[in-house]
């Protein structure tokens, strides 16, 4: 039997942590800019990100995931959520769990306990990526400027999530509401996307939310 070493990767409370957009000082921009902006950006920073791998066709795997998370395995190219917890399909045997800050270790342990004896993998990737939430009536217009993927409602309903080319980089686009979209970004490209979004949303107005 293989034993996994599971340990706390989240820095202690007395350790300073910075988001990938710390330098942009987004909190100082809250309430500024054009009124009734067409796009509002919220940086959902420092969340927990765990990748989970296992046989999605195995009832024991799907049942264990539901037992640990209270979430059903998502279908291809979709994301399911329950409050602040979301689970996204990344591939036939790979999923991404995003959770509130500080819950990563407990959820990893819960998954390992519920899936004990199965061939699985759980990896904490929190430090490598971040989440940008875009809301407003002109978000789709910004996306149409930025990606060749078809974001028409008929092709991109609420609950869909796809990895695609965005500007000159790659990310995951998730539609979580009628006018709400999320960009799952790599930490090293955060500055590039922030600069791009400012330019792409300029004609509609870009507001920053807390």
Q: What is the pLDDT of residues 17-52, one digit of tens each?
A: 889 999 999 999 999 988 899 999 999 999 999 999
11 falls within a domain: no
10 falls within a domain: no
Which residues lie below 8 Å from residue 41, measured CB to CB, with a gap of 6+? Answer: 26, 132, 133, 134, 197, 206, 207, 208, 209
Domain count within the chain: 1
Domain housing 127: 22-208
What value does the mean pLDDT of the chain take?
93
Residues in the chain: 210
Question: How confident is residue 150, by pLDDT bands cut at 50, 70 and 90?
Answer: very high
Tell the residue number behind the tokens 């490598």, with chain if given. Answer: 128
Q: Are strands 39-44 and 206-208 parallel, antiparallel or unpaired?
A: parallel
Phi then psi for residue 84, to 5 deg, are -90, 5
C-beta neighbour count of 17 within 10 angstroms? 13
C-beta neighbour count of 143 within 10 angstroms? 22
126 falls within a domain: yes
Closest-CA residue to 82 (of 74, 90, 71, 73): 71
> Looking at residue 17, what is its pLDDT?
81
Distance CA 78, CA 45 (A): 22
Distance CA 143, CA 155 (A): 14
Write the CATH number for 37. Answer: 3.30.1360.120
In the predicted structure, residue 12 carries a pLDDT above the cut 80: no
2 falls within a domain: no
In the predicted structure, residue 8 carries a pLDDT above the cut 90: no
5 falls within a domain: no
The average pLDDT across 150-174 equals 97
Pick from 2-11, 105-114, 164-173: least confident = 2-11
8 falls within a domain: no
198 falls within a domain: yes
In the predicted structure, residue 65 carries a pLDDT above the cut 70: yes
Geometric angle at alpha carbon 44, from 107 and 80, rounded to 5° = 55
β partners of residue 181: 134, 175
15 falls within a domain: no
**71's tokens:** 């979430």
> Looking at residue 5, what is its pLDDT?
57
Q: Report helix, strand or coil for 26.
A: helix
Give the H or E element holding residue 106.
helix 104-114
% pLDDT > 70, the chain = 93
> Looking at residue 1, what is its pLDDT?
42
> Looking at residue 4, what is its pLDDT?
57
β partners of residue 96: 51, 88
pTM of the predicted model as reported, rounded to 2 decimal places: 0.91
> Looking at residue 16, what is its pLDDT?
77
Distance CA 7, CA 140 (A): 40
């Amino acid at each position: 039997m293989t034993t996994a070493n599971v340990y706390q990767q989240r820095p202690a409370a007395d350790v300073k942590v910075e988001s990938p957009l710390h330098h942009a000082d987004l909190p100082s921009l809250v309430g500024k800019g054009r009124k009734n902006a067409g796009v509002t950006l919220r940086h959902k920073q420092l969340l927990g990100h765990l990748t989970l791998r296992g046989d999605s066709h195995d009832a024991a795997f799907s049942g264990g995931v539901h037992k640990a998370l209270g979430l059903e395995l998502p279908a291809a190219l979709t994301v399911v959520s329950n409050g602040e917890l979301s689970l996204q399909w990344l591939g036939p045997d790979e999923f991404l769990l995003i959770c509130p800050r500080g819950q990563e270790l407990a959820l990893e342990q819960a998954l390992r306990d519920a899936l004990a004896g199965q061939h699985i993998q759980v990896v904490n990737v929190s430090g490598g990526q971040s989440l940008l939430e875009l809301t407003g009536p002109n978000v789709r217009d910004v996306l149409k400027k930025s990606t060749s993927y078809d974001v028409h409602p008929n092709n991109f309903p609420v609950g869909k999530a796809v990895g695609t080319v965005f500007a000159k980089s790659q990310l995951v686009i998730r539609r979580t509401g009628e006018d709400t979209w999320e960009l799952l970004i790599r930490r090293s490209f955060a500055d590039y996307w922030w600069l791009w979004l400012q330019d792409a949303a300029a004609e509609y107005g870009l507001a920053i939310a807390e």
